[in-house]
Amino acid sequence: MSGATDAPVLFEERAAGGGARIGIATLNAPKTLNGLSLEMVDLLDARLTAWAADEGIAVVVLQGAGEKAFCAGGDLHSLYRTIREHRSGDVADVLGNAYACAFFEREYRLDYRIHTYPKPVLVWGHGIVMGGGMGLMAGASHRVVTEKSRLAMPEISVGLFPDVGGSWVLNRLPARSGLFLALTGAPVNAADALFAGLADHLVEQARRDEVFAALAATEWTRTADADAARLTAVLRAHAPADAPAHGPLRTHFDLVREACNHASLDEAVAAIAALPPGDAWLDRARATLAAGAPGSARLAWELQRRSRLLSLADVFRLEAVVAVHCAAHGDFAEGIRALLIDKDQTPAWNPARLEAADATWAQAYFDSPWRDGTHPLADLGRD
């Protein structure tokens, strides 16, 4: 283990077969459910860059400290503080909040690096995996869930939208179920994560040490495709003998598909509101949508519509534009205030109703504040 044990990210390299090494990065903020800070982003990005260039590293593993979460999201407290400081100065410049701009740029760059990493990446998605945690997990070549995993993109409750590539990932879920998850923030368990394609393997948490021991014992070739196949074999060897029972998304898949199979956001929201009562998962989804930010629902809809045919890099660039607008003048600060600061659970959304959050309203969020060629993620996908 390198660095102090109280560092926000712990790094370790373990000797493995074939003269190779396994690089292990552990998010080390269990008291905040491993909430992703800018410091953690920078530490991870630097080490992943180094490991990519290190011929001795065959596989990279990302995990979270503690038993509750891999990563429950981003560091919203720091973002809230800087948003409030920026707005108190009555600064109209969308790029005036240097911290927010830096956070989104570097977080997105890290997540894109994982999507395009030249070596197998295993994310051990135990416990809560939400928001920024989904961003870290989504691009990994090998995504593991456990019996305690709960995955969600609940940004509608804080006035944001499913970012960090969420528009790309959710657009690729079956039969527009990704739209349902974006609008309702509904969590999925391990079985549903496998069904929807948000995870690749189910391994019981109690077998994690066995998996790590098997990784160390594996003869790695240090050739990406061959090592990816070896990693898959290890994970399959430790999977439960029986398939998990269907989760709520799969159980209610036909209802979800029909509710989201509409040409307009207003129709989809009305259909979700009309879903039959009495099921806890559907009831919670309906209630979250009703209480969430109408502007967030519109942005999630528009992002999925506009990004359907875009490349991964272009989706990241588009989301970055919308994200800095949300920090500058959207409901993001109000959502964080109501949920985490004052904890009164009564956000004053603006716009307060979906009718006001129409496509014309949303267009301002898609106007890039960067001039041609100056977008901070302009280089993604062009190397």
CATH 3.40.50.970 fits 9-366, yes or no: no
pLDDT digits (tens, 9 = 90+) for 110-166: 999 999 999 999 999 999 999 999 999 999 999 999 999 999 999 999 999 999 999
Instruction: Assess whether pLDDT exceeds 70 at residue 2.
Output: no
Q: Spell out the domain ranges in the chain.
A: 9-366
* pTM for the full predicted model: 0.96
C-alpha pair distances (Å), 175 with each of 87, 130, 171, 196, 258 = 40, 22, 9, 10, 9
Backbone phi, psi, residue 150, to 5°: -140, 110
pLDDT digits (tens, 9 = 90+) for 32-69: 999 999 999 999 999 999 999 999 999 999 999 999 99
Mean pLDDT (the chain, rounded): 96
Instruction: Assess whether pLDDT exceeds 70 at residue 90.
Output: no
- Residue with the bigger pLDDT between 93 and 331: it is 331
- State the helix-helix crossing angle for 177-184 and 294-306, rounded to 10 degrees: 150
pLDDT of residue 383: 63
For CA atoms 327, 329, 330, 336, give the dihedral sign. Answer: positive
pLDDT of residue 86: 87
pLDDT digits (tens, 9 = 90+) for 283-312: 999 999 999 999 999 999 999 999 999 999
Q: What percent of the chain has pLDDT over 70?
A: 97
pLDDT of residue 238: 98
CA angle (266 as vertex; 260, 267 as ends), nearest 5: 45
Instruction: Assess whether pLDDT exceeds 90 at residue 93.
Output: no
Backbone phi, psi, residue 69, to 5°: -155, 145
Instruction: Assess whether pLDDT exceeds 60 at residue 195.
Output: yes
Instruction: Assess whether pLDDT exceeds 70 at residue 9.
Output: yes
**Is 375 in a helix, a strand, or coil?**
coil
- Edge-to-edge, what's the strand order for the sheet holding 128-130? 69-71, 128-130, 150-152
Return the residue matching tokens 């894109």. Answer: 112
Return the residue matching tokens 């069904």. Answer: 195
Residue 373: pLDDT band (50, 70, 90) is confident
pLDDT digits (tens, 9 = 90+) for 337-365: 999 999 999 999 999 999 999 999 999 99
Instruction: Assess whether pLDDT exceeds 70 at residue 88.
Output: no
CA distance 272 to 258: 9
Alpha helices in the chain (DSSP H): 38-53, 76-88, 98-115, 132-138, 166-171, 177-184, 190-196, 208-217, 224-237, 248-251, 253-260, 265-273, 280-291, 294-306, 312-329, 332-336, 359-363
pLDDT of residue 92: 64
Mean pLDDT of 304-329: 97
pLDDT of residue 3: 53
DSSP-derived letter for residue 156 is G
Mean pLDDT of 319-324: 98
Residue 4: pLDDT band (50, 70, 90) is low
Q: What percent of the chain has pLDDT over 90?
A: 95
